Structure 1
Amino acid sequence: MTNTTIDETELNELLGRFVNDLGATGAAGNIVIGDRLGLYRALAEAGPLTAVELAEYTGTVERYVREWLRGQAAGKLVSYRPETDQYWMTPAQALAFADPNGLVLPGAFQMALACFDDRDAIIDRFHSGRGFAWGEHGDDVAVGCERFFRPGYVANLVSSWLPAVDGLIERLDRGITVADVGCGLGSSTRILAETYPASTVIGYDNDSGSIELARKLTAEAGLGDTVEFAVAAAADFTASGLGLVATFDCLHDMGDPVGAARHIRSTLADDGVWLIVEPYAGDVVADNLTPVGRLYYSLSIFLCVPHAISEGASDALGNQAGEQPIARVIEEAGFGRFRRVTETPFNIVYEARP
């Protein structure tokens, strides 16, 4: 290395990215703090506020709040008025960080920080090759994941994903039986049940803790009589004659995706359809060297790959598998039709038919 010529421009660009990355890492904990203490909500409700006023409004200590506010303003997560030393939130900032029915971006940081709490276990897996299941993480992983993914499901599931499948909306309106496989805490399950009351919706997940939380959230939403949940894996849930099976962001987590796909095919009615929603990804690594790809690869090493290995995967798909590996799974499972029906910047949606 002592004889290596360093490209100063490249080094400076790398250091610039380092500062941004370290700043974002430092901000993550403060975002979760602001979310848990209601600081964002308070600013959105009552701002502009000084640090003293925000501390009084939230029952917190001014000196901590003052430092927190300055860091948030530096990251442009809240806005600052230097002439009055007040802080406030624009409508976009409030939608992203303060509105429980908005983008709920703090949920992503809640999930990420909880993942990082298990870094020693993941480091061990690099040596041992063993898996680490979703249920082995703390509750903040599942809760943060549900909070992060729910706005995307609210925005897209009914308005674009389901209508992209020919004839599906009409059948849901008339009434079919739907299995939401790998449902986690049940956000997608509740959306389906609430939107299509004539249909029967069952949520399955192999993590009993997630199912317990799904039932609790469903009861709190007043939907306890309209949705059923059960602990079961994608390869052995008990159902038949299904009009729709949906897997949202979870096929790549499965230890035996082909086996799961074969079972799903066996549960479908002759005119049934499998709706497959997966993270956005290209088919080759070079396609995924993007900000979205970086996010997904980083989370995959803590969540998706270890979980699939915990279920017996010898070569886990990972959340950046891309369309061709998914197509191969569907083909090996014996489906007669597979196609991409729509996409967003974060997801690709496929349909498979027997």
Structure 2
Amino acid sequence: MELNQEKLNAFVGQMVGELSVGYGGVMASLGDKLGLYKAMKGAGPVSSQELAKRSDCAERYVREWLNSQAAAGYVVYHAKSATYELTPEQAHVLADDNSPVYLTPAFQVVASMWADEDKALEAFRTGKGVNWGDHDERLYCGVAAFYRNAYRGSLVSEWLPALDGVTAKLEKGAKVADVGCGHGHSTVLMAQAYPNSRFWGFDGHRKSVEAARRIAEEAGVADRVTFEVADAGSYREQSFDLICFFDCLHDMGRPVIAAAHARKALAKDGSVMLVEPYAGDRVQDNINPVGRIYYSASTTMCCAHAISEDGTHVLGAQAGQSQLASVFERAGFRQFRKAMQTPFNLILEARA
């Protein structure tokens, strides 16, 4: 085969960029865990010596780290003064753990994927699954922290109001189930916003449920929030006014059973809120950076867990609205619609 040198050079350049990003993820994680970004936030231009003192770290390491950040465009380097500055925009992404675009925890998910590489290799070769609970511990904390801020920024202010009549019920006093609740950030956010309502979080991963209980205690809502270890097809039916699935239905090997159980567990005029990764219905609709993240995570986590359940479906994180609608139709729901979308999520509503 004759090589097109221009195309070859372009692709090599692309791959070098990928390696740069891979190395940079480790640096971003270090900056987050060592408090380096937070020490730079609002400080203006600082030298490596100043940052070392602020963060209680060794200067020579800090200096090299700062140069890596400048090369990445994560901080601004001022050559005349040999100082480094974290801009307000950079701080919003790297140093503000209340920001809806605080992204550094997401690198813990990447770290877990590397740590679980042997499991992924075995899964590819055998076709077997990998259960969610069998992954590296950094996966659970990384996913919880990454999604927490996205939910904090949009769940109460945008997503719930987009549903038909749901906020009025919540304000008056409703019963809500959060299925696949993980660390319970979504459950706690709703409980804080709607003090007249009661909330139940269900998840099959015991350690996540234990973490959720601690988070509810710390938030002061444990009197109105109950977390239980239970799967999506067997949690207690309590005539819920709202049942939520946050970024989890596509992980399930039996999503129709999960949707059917939700239908049985709903009050007469209840609603299901389904939050799923943003995706089009066709592969070509998802050929973009966000799609790449979701397909990659889906390969080692979402599909792997669904396969481990030996069920009926392996939807994957890029299932798209049509496949999800089919699941709810088969479960007996008569109404299914897209309430809204963001660059990262589809917010869907199902009613019996």
- Range class of TM-score, shorter chain: over 0.9
Alignment of 1:310-329 (within 5 A): 310-313=308-311, 315-329=313-327
Say whether 1:353 aligns with 2:351: yes
1:142: Cα distance to partner?
0.8
Contact 1:240 1:267 in 2 (8 A): yes
1:314: Cα distance to partner?
5.1
3-state SS of 2:162 partner:
coil
Counterpart among 234, 237, 248 of residue 236 in structure 1: 234
Say whether 1:72 aligns with 2:69: yes
Counterpart among 93, 96, 100 of residue 93 in structure 2: 96
Q: 1:200 corresponds to which residue?
A: 198
Contact 1:28 1:113 in 2 (8 A): no
Q: 1:33 corresponds to which residue?
A: 30
Is 228-237 or 50-59 further displaced after alignment? 50-59
3-state SS of 1:301 partner:
helix
Q: Structure 2 length as normaliser, TM-score?
A: 0.97
Q: Which amino acid aligns with 1:14?
A: F
Alignment of 1:12-51 (within 5 A): 12-51=9-48
2-side partners of 1:240 and 1:225: how far apart? 18
Contact 1:133 1:306 in 2 (8 A): yes
3-state SS of 1:335 partner:
coil
Q: Which amino acid aligns with 1:88?
A: E
1:352: Cα distance to partner?
0.6
Contact 1:240 1:266 in 2 (8 A): no
Q: Structure 1 length as normaliser, TM-score?
A: 0.97
1:313: Cα distance to partner?
3.1
Contact 1:172 1:198 in 2 (8 A): yes
1-side partners of 2:223 and 2:89: how far apart? 36
Contact 1:261 1:330 in 2 (8 A): yes
Contact 2:254 2:313 in 1 (8 A): no
Q: 2:298 corresponds to which residue?
A: 300
Q: 2:188 corresponds to which residue?
A: 190
1-side partners of 2:126 and 2:207: how far apart? 26
1-side partners of 2:200 and 2:104: how far apart? 29
1:214: Cα distance to partner?
1.0
2-side partners of 1:7 and 1:228: how far apart? 61
Distance change (3 Å), C-alpha of 1:240 and 1:222: closer
Q: Which amino acid aligns with 2:20?
A: G
1-side partners of 2:303 and 2:199: how far apart? 29
Alignment of 1:1-354 (within 5 A): 4-102=1-99, 103-313=101-311, 315-354=313-352
1:46: Cα distance to partner?
3.3
3-state SS of 1:331 partner:
helix
Q: Which amino acid aligns with 1:38?
A: G
Q: Which amino acid aligns with 1:164?
A: A
Q: Which amino acid aligns with 1:120?
A: D
1:240: Cα distance to partner?
2.1
3-state SS of 1:80 partner:
strand
Distance change (3 Å), C-alpha of 1:82 and 1:313: farther
**RMSD of equivalent CA atoms:** 1.2
> Percent of pairs identical after alignment?
45
Aligned length: 351
Deviations 1:13-45 (A, max 9, x none): 212211111100001111111111000000115
2-side partners of 1:310 and 1:47: how far apart? 50
1:315: Cα distance to partner?
4.2
1-side partners of 2:115 and 2:137: how far apart? 12
The runs of at least 4 consecutive aligned structure 1 residues that moved more than 6 Å come to none
Is 138-147 or 258-267 further displaced after alignment? 138-147
Q: Which amino acid aligns with 1:226?
A: R
Is 146-155 or 261-270 further displaced after alignment? 146-155
1:79: Cα distance to partner?
1.6
Is 109-118 or 321-330 further displaced after alignment? 109-118
Contact 2:339 2:348 in 1 (8 A): yes
1-side partners of 2:18 and 2:223: how far apart? 46
Deviations 1:232-277 (A, max 9, x none): 1111111221100000110000110011111010000110000001
Contact 1:253 1:305 in 2 (8 A): yes
1:47: Cα distance to partner?
4.0
Deviations 1:52-71 (A, max 9, x none): 11112211111111111000
Contact 1:282 1:320 in 2 (8 A): yes
Q: Which amino acid aligns with 1:74?
A: A
2-side partners of 1:167 and 1:341: how far apart? 12
